[in-house]
Amino acid sequence: MPELITASEVEQVIRKYLEGDGCNMSSSRKWGETGADIIATRGKSTWYVEVIGFHSNKSIRSRKFYEAFFRVVSRDRDNPNDMLIIGLPVRFKDGMRRRRNQYPVAWDKLGEAFPNLQVWYADTERKTVEKYPWAIPFA
């Protein structure tokens, strides 16, 4: 089953956004390389971004989301200037609303534990990024 929106497409939109925001960025990782998909810096701030695409299979889509979540929170270095970001296609927005509503207590605890955790939705058609705190990952 195919990816309907690839992680690479999402990554390109987020990179362009960060570049426009004046950030310096790591180069794109090659297949099999470890580390954050994007590491961007500006001044004392660092953004660690884990990106996923939108797979047609719901269970694969869920697994990739939870993997990205764990990867990004594992990058936390307790620096208040650092941001931990999960970069998703905008099509994830409805699913995030359902996840938030299904697990409100756990969701809030994660937000308290990782106040620097954000969800960024990349619209690969419009080439835009919507940014939300973990606490409310949708508009």
How far is Cα 124 from Cα 110, in angstroms, rounded to an integer?
28
pLDDT computed for residue 37 by the predictor: 95
In a domain, 63, yes or no: yes
- The count of structural domains within the chain is 1
Quickly state the pLDDT bin for 139 (edges 50, 70, 90): low
Arithmetic mean of pLDDT, 6-29: 95
CA 12 to chain centroid: 13
In a domain, 117, yes or no: yes
How far is Cα 114 from Cα 17, in angstroms, rounded to an integer?
23
Q: Is residue 34 classed exposed, middle or buried when 0-12, 13-18 and 19+ CB atoms within 10 A define those classes?
A: exposed
CA 86 to chain centroid: 1
Kindly report the CATH number assigned to the domain that includes residue 118: 3.40.1350.10
How far is Cα 96 from Cα 100, in angstroms, rounded to an integer?
6
pTM of the predicted model, to two decimals? 0.93
In a domain, 138, yes or no: no
Residue 33 has pLDDT above 80, yes or no: no
In a domain, 139, yes or no: no
Structural domain boundaries enclosing 29: 3-133
* pLDDT tens-digit series, residues 78-121: 998 999 999 999 999 988 988 899 999 999 999 999 999 999 99
Quickly state the pLDDT bin for 28 (edges 50, 70, 90): confident
Mean pLDDT of the chain: 93
Asked whether 75 and 28 are in contact (CB, 8 A), the reply is no
* Residues above pLDDT 70, as percent of the chain: 99
In a domain, 96, yes or no: yes
